[in-house]
Structures are given as structure tokens and as C-alpha cells.
Structure 1
Amino acid sequence: MEEKDIERLLEKFDASSLQEFEMTQGDLHLAFSKRAQAATVVQESVPVVSDAAPAPAAPASTSASTSAQPAAVPAPQSDAGTPVPAPLVGVAYFAAAPDKPPFKQIGDHVDKGETIFVIEAMKMINEVLSPVSGTLVKRLIDDGTMVEYDEPVVTIKEDAAE
């Protein structure tokens, strides 16, 4: 597989709603994830091509232990609450459309898995779901702001243990 093919795969992955993608072709093993911070592409028996993988790529591994990661791991919780990071680069909006009400207001209760904001990337709208149940306590950006991958967008004060 050539570098341009890897770049094309990465662009399509980045534009998709997929959170993870793995592919093995001969001695080549690729793993992309929008959930991890590090960026690498690992090839066995072939030179490592790390320039072909911008930030959305995840560390690749052939061991089963790293492929069994939890589906969504919220950022560490502080006294102020749990920050919810942007899962991809794009423009964050707190409502489905300019004439629609926000998904959630400051002080509203949110359930785990409920949409709290969306990110538009390459003309695709990606819903961001709450990783915890609790109260929305703070918006860390303005509506319509460009966000980077893993940038905190809102903070949720988690409900007491059930």
C-alpha cells in the first residue's frame, strides 16, 4: 500500500462517522481512532509511515489487550465536573439549527448518551453524546466556534453514585 492510499483512507475515515477503523493487508496493519490522542501508523516488516497519519489516527497494535478499549472514556473528573472533549475537529453548535432551541441549557440535567452538542466537519453533522449523567454546568466555548480534537467543550457535574 502506498502513502497516497493511506492518506486517502485517512481522509475518508476522518470524514465518516466511524470512531475506529482497523485494516490488515499482508504485513501492513493500520488502526485509526478518533478517541485517542497519539498518532501513529504501524507496519510490520515494512518501514513505519508516520507522516501519512495526522492526529485522528490511533496507536496501532497487534495485541488483543489494546484493542479492547472502553467505548467512551470521559476526561478525568475535577471538582468543577467532567469536561466533555470534542471527538473531532470542526465547528461546534449547541442547537440543531440556528432557529432551533439548544440541546441543553446551563443547569439542565443530561442523561448519559444524550446529545449535548454537535460538530460540523466537512459538511457532516456529528452528534456528541454525554459520557455521564449529571448537570450541564458550563460551556467552555461559544456557539459556532471551531474546536480542535480533544478540546474541552462543556463541563458536566456528574450525578452522585447510584
Structure 2
Amino acid sequence: MNLKQIKELVELLDNSSLTELDITDKDFKLTLKKEIKQEIVYGQAPSGPVAQPQQTSADAVAPQATENEVDNGITINAPMVGTFYKSPSPDEGPYVQVGTKVDADTTVCILEAMKLFNEIQADVSGEITEILVEDGQMVEYGQPLFKVK
């Protein structure tokens, strides 16, 4: 593998949602890792278990539910970068669906971050009106996951 190919792989990793790339050939092994940075919001208490990115310290997590300025509804937002799962396992039903009534302690989904499965609570009361992401989709910190009224 030449330097040009390695640079192309680095660029590919930077422009993707992948955080690690391992390539093994008969003569060499190449491992590329991308650091995940998480915004730090001071003065807010975390609402549940939160996986911290490598080499990043975070004192707290931003609130998950925020007012949506477009339609004055409420959104439940991702408290971290991770993979969205709507159910506890592939053979079980989803935590919530459109029309499900939730309260602050209701688990609405799982976000997998760094091989840790984090149950995400609604942190608001209301009814799920829309699910904004697909099962298995990579989500960003602060990305709206659900609309609630």
C-alpha cells in the first residue's frame, strides 16, 4: 500500500460516520481511528448513562428535549453520537411508536456508542407524533430523534 492510498483512506474515514478502519494484508496491518468530540454543556445534569468518547471529558450532557422553533412542538434529541435502535433487540417490538404517550422516565430508544448500549429517556411528557430517524441509523449529538406534542 502506498502513501497515496493511505491518504485516500484517511480522507474516506474523515468523510464517513465510521470511527475506526482496520486493514490487514499479508505484509502489513493498518488501523485508522477517528476521535469523536462531544460538546460540553456546563450546569446541566446528565439524565442517564452516557458513554464518553475517547480522550474527551464531559461534565454533563445537554438536555434531550428542546422547543422546536418551526412548529412550537417538542423534540427529543440525541444526547450523544451513536447508532439509533428503536427496540431492545431485533426480535422485540419498538419502545415507542407514533401515538405512544410518554413521560419523563419513558425509555424511547437505545443509542449505541462505543459498544455501549444507552437507554434514552423522553425527559418530557406528551405523545410521540413523529419518529425522525430510521432503525440502525447513525445520529449526531443534538440531532432530533422524535417529535412530541
Q: TM-score, normalised by structure 2?
A: 0.58
Distance 1:80 1:146 in 2: 26
Classify the secondary structure of the residue corresponding to 2:133. Answer: coil
Aligned equivalent of 1:127, options 103, 119, 130: 119
Tell me the CA shift for residue 113 of structure 1.
Answer: 1.5
Q: Hey, what does 2:8 align to over in structure 1?
A: none
Moved over 3 A (4+): 17-20, 77-80
Asked if 2 retains the 8 angstrom alpha-carbon contact of 1:83 and 1:155, the reply is yes
Residue 117, structure 1, aligned to residue 109, structure 2: yes
Distance 2:135 2:90 in 1: 10
User: Structure 2: which 5+ runs fail to align?
Assistant: 1-36, 39-48
Where in structure 2 are the equivalents of 1:59-98 lying within 5 Å?
72=63, 74-78=65-69, 79=71, 81-98=73-90
Q: Residues 33 and 108 from structure 1, CA distance in 2 versus in 1: closer, same or farther, beyond 3 angstroms? A: same
The one-letter code sitting in structure 1 at the alignment partner of 2:61 is R
Aligned equivalent of 2:137, options 130, 133, 145: 145
The structure with higher relative contact order (CA 8 Å, sep 6+) is 2
- Percent of matched pairs sharing the same residue: 34
The one-letter code sitting in structure 2 at the alignment partner of 1:122 is M
Distance 2:100 2:125 in 1: 11
Q: Residues 34 and 153 from structure 1, CA distance in 2 versus in 1: closer, same or farther, beyond 3 angstroms? A: farther
Q: Hey, what does 1:103 align to over in structure 2?
A: 95
Tell me the CA shift for residue 80 of structure 1.
Answer: 5.7
Asked if 1 retains the 8 angstrom alpha-carbon contact of 2:66 and 2:75, the reply is yes
Q: Residues 33 and 155 from structure 1, CA distance in 2 versus in 1: closer, same or farther, beyond 3 angstroms? A: farther
Distance 1:146 1:73 in 2: 17
The aligned length equals 99
Asked if 1 retains the 8 angstrom alpha-carbon contact of 2:73 and 2:147, the reply is yes
The one-letter code sitting in structure 1 at the alignment partner of 2:116 is M
Tell me the CA shift for residue 76 of structure 1.
Answer: 1.5
User: Structure 1: which 5+ runs fail to align?
Assistant: 1-9, 12-16, 21-29, 37-71, 158-162
Q: Hey, what does 1:32 align to over in structure 2?
A: 58
Q: TM-score, normalised by structure 1?
A: 0.54
